[in-house]
Amino acid sequence: MKLRGKDMVGLRHITAQEIELILNTAEAMKGIINRQIKKVPTLRGRTVITVFYEASTRTRTSFELAAKYLSADTVGIAAATSSVSKGESLKDTARNIAAMGADVVVLRHPMAGAAELLASTLQASVINAGDGAHEHPSQGLLDLFTAREKKGRLEGLKVAIIGDIMHSRVARSDIWGYTRMGAEVRLAGPSTLIPRDIEKMGAIVCENIEDALAGADVVNVLRIQTERQQQGLFPSLREYSRMFCINRERLGLAAPDALLMHPGPMNRGIEISPDVADGLQSVITEQVTNGVAVRMALLYLLIGGGAR
């Protein structure tokens, strides 16, 4: 079995069987990360280029490690956002990448649809490492992987996603992924940050945070960008924290063995309180490890052989 597409731009069009394949492959990959010699020769001679138009040390490092563990060569292009405004088009960047002979391009970009634009231009596989508020499939997959690993299943799980849903590509990828695997997704956050018609994606929009958390098996807390407050989307960080911060008391509404996740980086004391972030239910650091495994799986499945 193989992924159907040349690229991984989002989870919207990915089938349950494909998700299953990715997660199973990631399980094997995690075995490699956990051993002393964290390297297999699988992608020797292949080149992975990371192109980041937004700074994100964590995601970029995760992809680079994944590539290196599989013995691929990696090159990073730090395309500062300023070069976008200077008029260097994404298509021009794409042409340069094609000329360098990459097998996989990992793209992080502030605008929705950028990965699809690049994928349509390049013969190489494109992995979307986050495009605007559209999708962040590898993060969605690592969330699924972590939940499945800890809970033994995805079907029937109750997953609460809390915070700035509107600007969150993670929320969108999570909703597609979890609902496709038969989990229930509930959303809660300030009403100004709940995008229109999102319930049509198959998620449940909760009136209040308590309803979303009640009996949840997974609580995924989204990062709140302080600039959203400056944009007037909610009155103050203080009030946001008072109404939506996941603290011990609120986490207590979830199932006793609920998992606490956060895509990082965290604003401790704003969307998540430090005691729960570092508490027993937190799987936030494991998410980071699992991220490498999932990205290894994606790299293998996209370019690890087998005629297309």
Which burial class, exposed, middle or buried, applies to 267 when counting CB atoms under 10 A from its CB (0-12, 13-18, 19+)?
A: middle
Question: Closest approach of Cβ 109 to other proteins, in Å?
Answer: 7
Beta-ladder partners of 220: 161, 261
CA distances from 234 to 164, 168, 213, 224, 239 (A): 10, 16, 21, 11, 8
Candidates 108, 134, 186, 250; binder of other proteins (CB under 8 A) is: 134
User: For helices 57-69 and 16-33, what crossing angle results, to 10°?
Assistant: 80
Candidates 19, 48, 70, 283; binder of other proteins (CB under 8 A) is: 70
Contact positions with other proteins (CB under 8 A) in 12-31: 12, 21, 24-25, 27-29, 31
What amino acid occupies position 103?
Answer: D
Candidates 8, 67, 107, 117; binder of other proteins (CB under 8 A) is: 117
Q: What b-and-e string marks burial along 270-304, b requiring 16 or more CB atoms within 10 Å of the CB?
A: bbbbeebbeeebbbbebbebbbbbbbbbbbbbbbb
Q: Are 11 and 173 in contact (CB under 8 A)?
A: yes
Pairing of strands 73-78, 47-52: parallel
Question: Closest approach of Cβ 268 to other proteins, in Å?
Answer: 27
Residue among 112 and 255 whose Cβ is closer to other proteins: 112
Candidates 5, 20, 33, 40; binder of other proteins (CB under 8 A) is: 40
Candidates 4, 16, 17, 39; binder of other proteins (CB under 8 A) is: 39
* H or E element in which residue 29 lies: helix 16-33
| Contacts with other proteins, 170-209, as mask; x by CB under 8 A | --x----------------------xxxx-xx--------
Q: Using CB under 8 A, list all residues that contact other proteins.
A: 1-2, 12, 21, 24-25, 27-29, 31-32, 35-37, 39-42, 70, 84, 89-91, 109, 111-114, 116-117, 131-135, 169, 172, 195-198, 200-201, 297, 300-301, 304-307
